[in-house]
Structure 1
Amino acid sequence: MRVAISYPPIVNADGQKAMVSQNRNVQYFKKPTYLLPVTYAQAATWLKQIGHDVYWDDGNAQLKSYDQWLSDLVSWAPDIIVLESTTPVMKFYWRVVDQLKQLLPASIVIMTGYHSMRKPEETMGESKTDIVLRSNHVDFVLSRLVPYIESNKSWRLTCPYEGLVIRMGDNQLRSTGNFRQVEPLEKSPIIDRDLVDWKRYAFENGNYLQTPGTYATSVIRDCMFGKCTFCRYNGPDLTFSMMSIERSLDEYEDLIINHGVKEIFDDSGVWYRGVEARKFAQGIIDRGLHKKGCYFGINTRFEYLDEETIKLMAKANFRFVLLGYEAADDETLQRLNKGYQLQHVESCLTWMSKYGLHPHLTIMVGYYWQTQEQLDKTVSEVRRLMFSGLARTLQVTLCTPLDYTPYHQECIDHSKLLTNDYDDFDMSKLIVKTPIPHDRYYEAVRQMYSIAFHPKFIARQIAYLFTFRKRDWQFLFTYSVRAIRRVRQHVFNLTKNASQSVY
């Protein structure tokens, strides 16, 4: 069958593109970051391996206009079109589906993504979608579903596979229940880099100090913690599974030796910890990959890596480590169910800084309970960590309830939402009732991002030059140019609605 895995370009009134693929939360950017959607790339690879004709159709990364994207897709005339949905772009996607069904009436449209998988009846009611895939394991489900559709004309009635809501008629739906992953992650293939045109994602990414960079095939599917209330990796519809260390090392070796990759980031919800983390780092060293000039990066959690592990990872040439800091008060961390204590933050960051890693903190503001005191404490602590050199970079976002996560449902249950219009969920403004005016949170965003221009921060980066580590020189003289551009963009995106502040 002819299968298109498609990402239509989505542009807002400010001329900014929506970043949908591989993002925890959709945001609009004038200078986009094109992220390889790893699980969908595995799905495309798997379908190709079992004999289907796959059209990798990322209109954003391919720099297409919407009209060009639509014309190219219609010309290719796929049997199946796969789309990925999330809350801020749902209304757009519903319109796209209906347009596609008008232009390609014989094509089967499959909607995937966290929003639709949790509200399938809504997507079916608001559009002419044929199937909603109720699992984020799109690779496993599509590898079964597509061959079944091909060989069974009555597939709508007879398809036995779990995790689907199927349109039977205008007003009839058929659910096959919840998807349960019983097969190992190992069965899903390593990404075919040529198929997904990987170089389109290799340069415009703030996580890379060196390019070309790429995302690895994730070693962890979903998250081994999986309890943070604001995160999509939370709920009975998600499962935790792990890929073997040797298989991942094989991919790293191929990316470095055969593709010339200079930085590899694993965007697993949380990367290996403990013995697996040490075995992976030692495997990099044993294969000599740490001497190839390539940096490695991961997502992790505070308290997941001890000093011994961090020291070994530094030897293996790990650099970028993303940590969810979220806030600097215990009440917020408890309400978010973060599962770590603030008292352990300092030691973790101290070890990373000591061994030359570059910790990146992610912070959110605008929780519906966040007081001025809590907000000030977060800003103060972030400034301290950045000025002291314990953290090297940061990312601030507005806490926006998305995709019917526990936090989203909590906001609904407590009547905290200020809007029900999904278009307002794009993280460009606060949409929850808060105890202080929204302008206070926007100002906190400005204060934290302004750290990048503060003399204390700049002096700290200059001091790092005396470590004579290549990465520290690159950070100051190469990365900083790109970072300043992105800092300005983030500040604009997150504070442009400040004058409309309500609470």
Structure 2
Amino acid sequence: MKIKNVLLIVPSTDKSWKKDLKNKIGTAPLGVASLSSMLKFHGYQVKIVDMLVECCTPKELLRVLNEFKPDIIGISATYTESILVTYKIVKYIKKIMDIIIIAGGVHVTFRPKEALDNGFDYVVLHEGEATIIELLEYLKVNLEPKNVPGIAYRDKDNKIIVNENREFINNLDSLPFPDLLSLKLSEYMTPLAIVTSRGCPGDCIYCSSRAMSGKKYRIRSAESVFSEVFYLSKQILFDDSLLRSYLAIYDDTFTVNRKRLKLFCKYMISSKMNVIPWKCESRIDVLDEECIALMKKAGCFAIHVGVESANQHIIDSLNKHIRFENVEKALSLLHKYGIQPLCSFIIGNHMDTKETLQKTLEYIKHIIVDYNARVAISPNTPLPGTELYENASKYNIIIHSDNWEDYSLMKVILSTHYLKREDIRNIYVEFSEKINSLEAGT
């Protein structure tokens, strides 16, 4: 079959949730943009449609299909809360044209049979850049891709086949920069964003990062990271809507490799690129005064850390492997150097009680007042691929909903040994109101 035009679609949820999902994600779809770059590098024509910011009605989608005339379609199926809308999109497209549709992303990596049962022809598991290129080569010559690692599909007998996993990409510097310029960047809350590493050595029970990207922490070089920042900075000059933007570095732990961090910061300072404000993600246990001071000089204005609870035994039960006393030290240092702490907490951990949550609330009040921290909270939401979801009974939690649209990190879907579902819902509302009041200064 001829494959030249590849349409990549990022689904939204229904209209009532679209704004909330856009605000939570806030940035361009970096995974899809990375696939676009790889496909273009191999000679394909690519169009990205991000339904969070464009084309959300069947009529508009039909127009795109008629104008672009794709030979194959790829759909990002990462977010659990939007997966049902994703399946509706697949069924709609299948009704109006005979075309192969490929899924990729976190949710379908852990639920490939579900994706195939809902109309997808192939599922790309875990990382997609190398897999999608090899899969398309097989499809061009009408070969069954039984030797393509990292995919799931139905064979000619309608049997579901899940091939062996593909090895993760070790040399991330070999990948082209994500194709952000094909997106309507001005439509995103955080239009300028990069990812500089993959994999996670941690084993937090609420996170699927390790299961999705492997336990080996793989990093791009400081030179590669700086080059992408430099490239993006030049695009700002040609788009007035991006002039007030900041750069977001969305690694789970950008600061874990101190040598790379220091080198990147030195490049930013020596090139005077530190006029571009940037924020990143970190862990409490890999922040010290030397690095914080250097990051401030390099243009860093905010660092996000996951605290999750103000109780050490709760933190330990999550396999987070940090000491709570180090949270206070790190936040104090960030405040000292004028870097805003961005802290996240989980409400309704499996070991939480009303008393432990009250202690967490008091600590949240303290860091907002004394350290000018911005705080994000979410109800405990076990997502597919996490230890907490896959082994819920082990942690004495009951998941009350099997409707994927409820897995939005804003709805309470579980009860624990210590807290009823209604208890968690009421506490979540109370926390939200008090945090909003404190941050507003009222």
TM over 0.5: yes
Aligned to 1:173: 160
Equivalent-residue separation in structure 1 for 2:298 and 2:55 (angstroms) = 36
Q: Which residue of 2 aligns with 1:432?
A: 414
Structure 1 CA distance for aligned equivalents of residues 393 and 210 of structure 2: 17
Q: One-letter code of the match for 2:43? A: G
Farther-moved stretch of structure 1 (183-192 vs 278-287): 183-192
Instruction: Find the partner of 1:193 among 160, 172, 180.
Output: 180
Matches within 5 A, 1:37-52: 37-52=29-44
| Partner residue, 2:364 | 382
Secondary structure at 2:399's aligned position in 1? coil
- 1:231-380 to structure 2, matched below 5 A, reads 231-235=207-211, 238=214, 239-260=216-237, 262-273=245-256, 274-290=258-274, 292=275, 294-380=276-362
Which whole-Å CA distance do the structure 2 matches of 1:453 and 1:437 have between them? 24
Aligned-partner Cα distance in 2 for 1:436–1:127? 35
Whether 2:132 is the aligned partner of 1:131: answer no
Cα 1:378/1:215, change in 2 over 3 Å: same
Residues 374-419 of structure 1 show CA distances to partners (whole Å, capped at 9, x for unaligned) of 1111111111111112x42111111111123101112255461112
Compared CA separation, residues 248 and 348, structure 1 to 2 (3 A):
same
Corresponding position of 2:114: 122
Equivalent residue for 1:420, pick from 399, 402, 405: 402
- TM-score, normalised with respect to structure 1: 0.79
SS at match of 2:391: helix
Which residue pairs with 1:24 in the alignment?
A: none
Aligned to 1:149: 139
Letter in 1 for 2:359: K
Aligned twin of 1:489: none
- CA deviation vs aligned residue, 1:122-176 (integer Å, no higher than 9, x gap): 222x2221101111x12232233223423x222xx24522111122236222332
- TM-superposed deviation, 1:453: 5.5
Q: Distance in 2 between matches of 1:455 and 1:165?
A: 49
DSSP-derived class of the 1:333 partner: helix
Q: Is the 8 A contact 2:247 2:277 kept in 1?
A: yes
Query: Structure 2: how far apart are the matches of 1:134 and 1:412?
Result: 26
Distance apart, 1:66 and its partner CA: 4.5
Give how far 1:421 is off.
2.7
Letter in 2 for 1:233: S
- Distance in 2 (alpha carbons) for counterparts of 1:4 and 1:259: 26
Q: What is the CA-CA distance between 1:236 and the residue it aligns to?
A: 7.2
Give the distance between the partners of 2:54 and 2:431, measured in 1 at CA.
33
Q: TM-score, normalised by structure 2?
A: 0.89
Aligned length: 428
* 8 Å contact kept, 2:199–2:213: no
The CA distance in 2 between the partners of 1:8 and 1:193, in whole Å, is: 17
Over the matched positions of the two proteins, sequence identity in percent amounts to 20
Supply the RMSD in Å over aligned alpha carbons. Answer: 2.4
Structure 2, unpaired ranges of 5+: 238-242
Q: In the alignment, what sits opposite 1:16?
A: 17
Paired residue type of 2:373: R
Q: Encode CA deviations 1:38-89: one digit per residue, 9 max, x unaligned.
A: 1221110111122101011112212643442344235433122111223323
Task: After TM superposition, give the deviation of residue 96 of structure 1 in Å.
Answer: 2.3
Quick one: which amino acid aligns to residue 99 of structure 1? Y
Q: Which amino acid aligns with 2:269?
A: I
Are positions 1:58 and 2:50 aligned together?
A: yes
Q: In structure 1, list runs of 5 or more residues that go unmatched.
A: 19-26, 206-212, 460-503
Alignment check: 8 A CA contact 1:9 1:60 kept:
yes
Letter in 2 for 1:246: E
**Is the contact between residue 4 and residue 78 of structure 1 (CA under 8 Å) also seen in structure 2?**
yes
